[in-house]
Chain A
Amino acid sequence: MSAQARKSPYPYWFVLPAGLIFVIFFLVPTVTSFYFSLTYWDPFEARFAGWDNYVQFFSEPYLIQGTVNTLIFAFLTSGLKTALGLLLAVLLTSGMLGQSLLRSIIFFPVLVSTIGVGILFKEMMHPTDGFLNIVLDSIGLSKVGFLTNPSLALFSVALVDVWRGVGLATLIYIAGLATIGQEYYEAARIDGATRWQQFWRVTVPLVRPATTTVIILSLIGGLRLFDLIWAMTGGGPGFSSDVLASVIYKQYQAGFWGLSTAGNVILFLMIAFIVAPLAYWLNRRAIDA
């Protein structure tokens, strides 16, 4: 084995430089986070605390809210991006006027700084002077506290996240639609299928690999999202739009490193236990179909 390994033209040491960086800067912190989440940890010392941080996470109302908000935000934005992305992709491959220009326009926000987008929309959603409220006022509707009303703030940020991310979903769907042969649509038309039926019976099942990608990517992104929320609301008003990622940052800033790390582990477990089974299930259905 060792003589063979030495002779191989594809030596293992090729993975060492990247492997070293990855292990030191990613794996070591990830693995040690499980230990640190069980400690009272501040910038000076770490004392073993058992499950205290986790108990606190699931007993303090504002921490529970952060966890629940994370799930609401991730599923809402993922669902909207998937549905709108598919519709836009169908529209933008229908051969209509200016479709390549439209693809570029919809995609551009994906590349723009999230902080820039966040601050721009924060100003546009200003409760009295914001451009959106000026528009609402001018068409005779009452002004909306998009980011100042505690029951709306999370959803306003979610809308902006969809605005920003729908271009990527559309792009992935366009790539997926390109792999569906025209003969399926011809066969369906010969059988007398309406456009509606063609969409549900041909497009939706055959574009499933793209659907899987869009759902998984946007779900992971939604669960981990920090910058947009931080730029737009900072988790407020109160704790109404806090998510796990913003809780992690706030607890870190406050010097509660152990609690912050427990939040990190909860986020990790959430992704592992939601995304991995979902990915497995979606991929299996793709094979069945």
Chain B
Amino acid sequence: MTRRQTITGLISMVVAFVLFVVPFLFVLINASKTAQDASQLDFSWPERWVFWENLVTTVQTRDYALLLAYWNSIVITVGAITLLVIFGAMVGYIVQRRPNRVTRIVYIITLSGLMIPPAVVPTIWLLQEINLFKTLHGMIFIQVAYGLGFTVLLYRNFIGTIPRELDEAAIIDGAKPWQVFFRVVLPLLKPVTVTIIVVQSITIFNDFTHPLYYLPGRDNITVQLTLYNFQSQFVSQMNLLFMNIMLITIPPLLVFIFFNRQIVAGMTSGAVKG
């Protein structure tokens, strides 16, 4: 490493620290202050550290709404991801293995979901008609529908790298189509499945807009909505607002630390081939 590279590196780290780390420190410090101290909104050291008290108060707000929100968000995320992985892989498999006009149309329609903004009010109307409005399972289906484009795109590309000879060997041995898929192909999709699980779970967990529309109601609160709903209540208690921001930032931070590589793979897929 040249002297110049060391110096640019040091300067960049200072700049990146100020621009990207300081805001998060700001959250952490203010989440540790008393209400009066935090109302200054400055960067001073807390007069008194009340981190734990703030944590407990925030969790207890509105009858432990945050815990309920965590539960709801986890149910939606886990449910949607399970369906996305199994059903999405099945679509990617057929689209890749059986290239013809039908599957090409299926693929294009699926990918159109990546671009087209969902028509929210007609969706609400439809959910009401089939009694799924304001229900967790309705929300799960919505997240599956919205996440399908990304999932099928990744699976299709990855299945292209798995030799057809493997399927053919199983077929010759007398395996049924679903056996070929579930016993032979699906286990081989593990790397891309991990990527999909990580990226989609962050997307679904962080989703604010769609629960706001399709999942109103006290008992249906999700993690992102706690912050939004508590805003008015915390207006004179900035310390609790920042504690809340911190509490909903922790899950993505943990995922980021453990699955950095898969996130990068998922987020950049398609970038190189254009």
Q: What residues of chain A have their CB less than 8 Å away from a CB belonging to chain B?
A: 8-12, 14-15, 17-19, 21-22, 24-30, 32-33, 36, 41, 91, 94-99, 101-102, 104-116, 119-121, 123-124, 126, 129-131, 134, 163, 168, 171-172, 174-176, 178-179, 208-210, 212-214, 220, 223-224, 226-227, 230-231, 245, 248-249, 252, 257, 260-261, 264-265, 267-268, 271-272, 275-276, 283, 286
| Proximity bits, B71-92, A CB within 8 Å = 1, else 0 | 0000000000001001110110
Given A108, A124, A175, A260, which contacts B20 in the complex, CB threshold below 8 Å? A108
Find out whether the CB atom of B5 lies under 8 angstroms from the CB atom of A18: no
Given B42, B91, B255, B256, which contacts A15 in the complex, CB threshold below 8 Å? B91
Find out whether the CB atom of A19 lies under 8 angstroms from the CB atom of B93: no
Find out whether the CB atom of A102 lies under 8 angstroms from the CB atom of B12: yes
Known: A9-B177, A123-B238, A286-B274. A21 touches B123 (CB 8 A): no
A116, B241: Cα distance in complex, Å: 10
Q: What A residues does B141 contact at CB under 8 A?
A: 21, 24-25
Of all chain A residues, the one with the shortest Cβ separation from B84 is: A18
Find out whether the CB atom of B167 lies under 8 angstroms from the CB atom of A130: no
Among B21-29, B47-55, B59-67, the stretch in contact with A: B21-29
Find out whether the CB atom of B264 lies under 8 angstroms from the CB atom of A171: yes
Residue picked from B41, B124, B223, most chain A C-beta under 10 Å: B41
Find out whether the CB atom of A10 lies under 8 angstroms from the CB atom of B248: no
Q: What A residues does B212 contact at CB under 8 A?
A: 249
* B166 smallest CB distance to A (angstroms): 12
Given A17, A36, A101, A213, which contacts B122 in the complex, CB threshold below 8 Å? A36
Does chain A have a CB within 8 A of B36? no
Given B109, B113, B117, B249, which contacts A271 in the complex, CB threshold below 8 Å? B117
Find out whether the CB atom of B87 lies under 8 angstroms from the CB atom of A33: no
Q: What B residues does A18 contact at CB under 8 A?
A: 87-88, 90-91, 144, 148, 152
Find out whether the CB atom of B252 lies under 8 angstroms from the CB atom of A113: yes
* B144 smallest CB distance to A (angstroms): 5
Does chain A have a CB within 8 A of B40? yes
| Main secondary structure on A side of the interface with B | helix
List, sorted by A's number, 5 A–B pairs whose CB atoms are closer than 8 Å: A24-B130, A25-B144, A97-B6, A104-B256, A172-B267
A95, B42: Cα distance in complex, Å: 36
| Main secondary structure on B side of the interface with A | helix
Q: What A residues does B181 contact at CB under 8 A?
A: 14
Given B83, B91, B118, B167, which contacts A29 in the complex, CB threshold below 8 Å? B118
A121, B13: Cα distance in complex, Å: 22
| Proximity bits, B252-274, A CB within 8 Å = 1, else 0 | 11011000100110011011111
Find out whether the CB atom of B126 lies under 8 angstroms from the CB atom of A28: yes
Interface pairs A-B: 10 shortest CB-CB: A97-B9, A209-B274, A33-B119, A18-B87, A25-B145, A29-B122, A175-B268, A96-B9, A29-B123, A10-B98
Of all chain B residues, the one with the shortest Cβ separation from A211 is: B274
Find out whether the CB atom of A176 lies under 8 angstroms from the CB atom of B271: yes
A102, B39: Cα distance in complex, Å: 32
* B14 smallest CB distance to A (angstroms): 11
Find out whether the CB atom of A283 lies under 8 angstroms from the CB atom of B274: yes
Find out whether the CB atom of A209 lies under 8 angstroms from the CB atom of B272: yes
A267, B13: Cα distance in complex, Å: 40
* B86 smallest CB distance to A (angstroms): 8
Does chain A have a CB within 8 A of B58? no
Of all chain B residues, the one with the shortest Cβ separation from A265 is: B119
* A43 smallest CB distance to B (angstroms): 9
Does chain A have a CB within 8 A of B194? no
Find out whether the CB atom of B106 lies under 8 angstroms from the CB atom of A115: no
Other A-B contacts than A113-B206, A129-B39, A210-B272, 5 sampled, CB-CB below 8 A, are A14-B90, A26-B113, A28-B126, A98-B12, A272-B115
Does chain A have a CB within 8 A of B10? yes
Of all chain B residues, the one with the shortest Cβ separation from A123 is: B41
* A284 smallest CB distance to B (angstroms): 11
A251, B23: Cα distance in complex, Å: 34
Known: A123-B238, A210-B271, A264-B117. A27 touches B148 (CB 8 A): no
A113, B249: Cα distance in complex, Å: 7
A3, B19: Cα distance in complex, Å: 64
Q: What A residues does B42 contact at CB under 8 A?
A: 129, 131, 134
Does chain A have a CB within 8 A of B45? no
* B268 smallest CB distance to A (angstroms): 4
A238, B86: Cα distance in complex, Å: 47
Known: A91-B12, A96-B12, A176-B271. A119 touches B119 (CB 8 A): no
* B176 smallest CB distance to A (angstroms): 9
